[in-house]
Chains A and B, each alone.
Chain A
């Protein structure tokens, strides 16, 4: 496997840029996709994230990391933000951040949890909750470049109301997509609601896939442990944990 080289920036520290909201849409009742125009955006690789910084009038400042949801597209990027009830930043981004408003943004960040379209190794994507966001960037990039690399997606959510990008995911006819419900499944579901199990992962190991797992820390922990138990090669498992989650 070719080792990815680290790209050196020639301009010094990664700059904070000003991004503007140009469009927005609700993905679920508690999440919102932000379409941002970022002047001078150098482009990103699918799976990378950005830091957003908000500063109040009294100079109090907070920053948060968000995965990019879109495939590379010039100076436009999309982020999908999940509303956290006790959050400091997400209520603003989901409810109050308006078209035309600026926000400070730094990125792209992280060269480890990324997919390279030139890589023909089969890919197993496992997302929990809003952990689907960097994975949809990978799926969108795969489609944009016309890749035929075999892909499989396992997407774990609590209830049918929590599915991001539903039409897009279920319309992806050449990606084997399974949505797993942990709390309540739709009426026509043949699988009982419950957490990810070895049966859900099934027998894909023989294709020697690279696995990308993203979600709350506990979910990623459980999913990566399952893969190791099923004899998936640990060196082909890449993870991105985003902290405590409710599930």
Chain B
């Protein structure tokens, strides 16, 4: 049995890690995000990223709501975080070990 589906076109949130180094000194792909639409929590690396438009659109893997958008021109970087309640980044402590949380 073969069901013909259109080939999906999205990538993982990993694909945002490179572009977002323009703005962040941490690896945003490892940050946790909470979807405004459905409350799903996941890593940015686990969002579904669409690159076919002028910028990147990252959607929630559960409800498909837009979590963030990123567009860069030659002079400006625009980050639209409309769909995330919070971005949470686990930082290293001074000793270089992961902090407890």
Contact = CB atoms under 8 A, between A and B. Distances in A.
Interface of A: 2-10, 12-14, 49, 51, 65, 106-107, 109-113, 216-218, 221, 238-245
A244 B29 contact: no
B15 A65 contact: yes
B8 A4 contact: no
B89 interface: yes
Given A110-B45, A112-B30, A112-B45, A5 B9 contact: no
Q: How large, as a class, is the contact surface on chain B?
A: 20 to 34
A5 B88 CA distance: 12
B15 A112 contact: no
Contact of B98 (A3, A10, A239): A3
B12 A241 contact: yes
Nearest to A247: B7
Given A5-B98, A6-B30, A12-B25, A112 B14 contact: yes
A216 to B, nearest CB: 8
Nearest to A7: B92
A4 B90 contact: yes
B69 interface: no
Nearest to B97: A5
Contacts of B89: 6
Given A7-B92, A13-B21, A113-B12, 9 more contacts: A4-B90, A5-B99, A6-B89, A8-B26, A109-B27, A110-B18, A111-B27, A241-B10, A242-B11
A243 B45 contact: no
Contact of A217 (B8, B45, B91): B8
A4 B7 contact: no
Interface string B57-78: 0000000000000000000000
Given A3-B98, A5-B97, A6-B26, A241 B11 contact: yes
B36 interface: no
